[in-house]
Amino acid sequence: MTKDELISDLNGDIAYEFAAAIQYVQHAATLTGGEFQSINAELLVHVNEEIGHANLLSEQIDYLGGVPTMDVAERQTDSNSRKMLEQDLEGERLAIRRYKERIKQAQELELYALETVLKQILADEEEHERDLMEALGL
Ligand SMILES: [Fe+2]
Ligand SMILES: [Fe+2]
């Protein structure tokens, strides 16, 4: 793992963060059903937190001498509300896997400030996962 490879992976993370924010905006607007009323407001909180993550990662990439991406990863939606929340849960679980890997890489390169930022982001993603699992009754 070199610093350049880490920058490339972090840019991949940013693209997923932008995609997640866009996906949450669309899902919050189109989600229907009384049982999903409370998660709807929570999805809008997630929108801002995902954008916050993209912002933190962009700053870190700049510190590392890289150029933060403006790319957006693939988004998913569905006409079924439950399916949409399952897509969101899948995205959060992917994020958790990616950030756990990224924390190990930051440690390997002795980038401890980055490690701290990544752990803060990971804690948010774990909270997002719990919100969605609760809404889905899992
Ligand atoms: Fe995020
Ligand atoms: Fe998230």
Query: Could you state, in chain order, the average pLDDT of each consecutive group of 10 residues for the chain (138 residues)?
Result: 97 98 98 91 97 98 98 98 98 98 98 98 98 96
Task: Provide the token pair at 54.
Answer: 């993209």
pLDDT score recorded for residue 107:
98
The bound ligand whose nearest atom lies closest to the alpha carbon of 127 is 2
pLDDT at residue 11, rounded to an integer: 98
Taking the model in full, what pTM does it have?
0.97
| Domain residue ranges in the chain | 3-135
The number of the ligand nearest the C-alpha atom of 53 reads: 1
What is the 110 CA–ligand 1 centroid distance (Å)?
23
* DSSP symbol at 78: -
CA 19 to centroid of ligand 1, rounded, Å: 10
CA distance 125 to 28: 18
CATH number 1.20.1260.10 is the correct assignment for the domain at 3-135? yes
Looking at residue 118, its pLDDT comes to: 98
Q: What is the model's pLDDT at position 17?
A: 98
The whole-number pLDDT of residue 99 equals 99
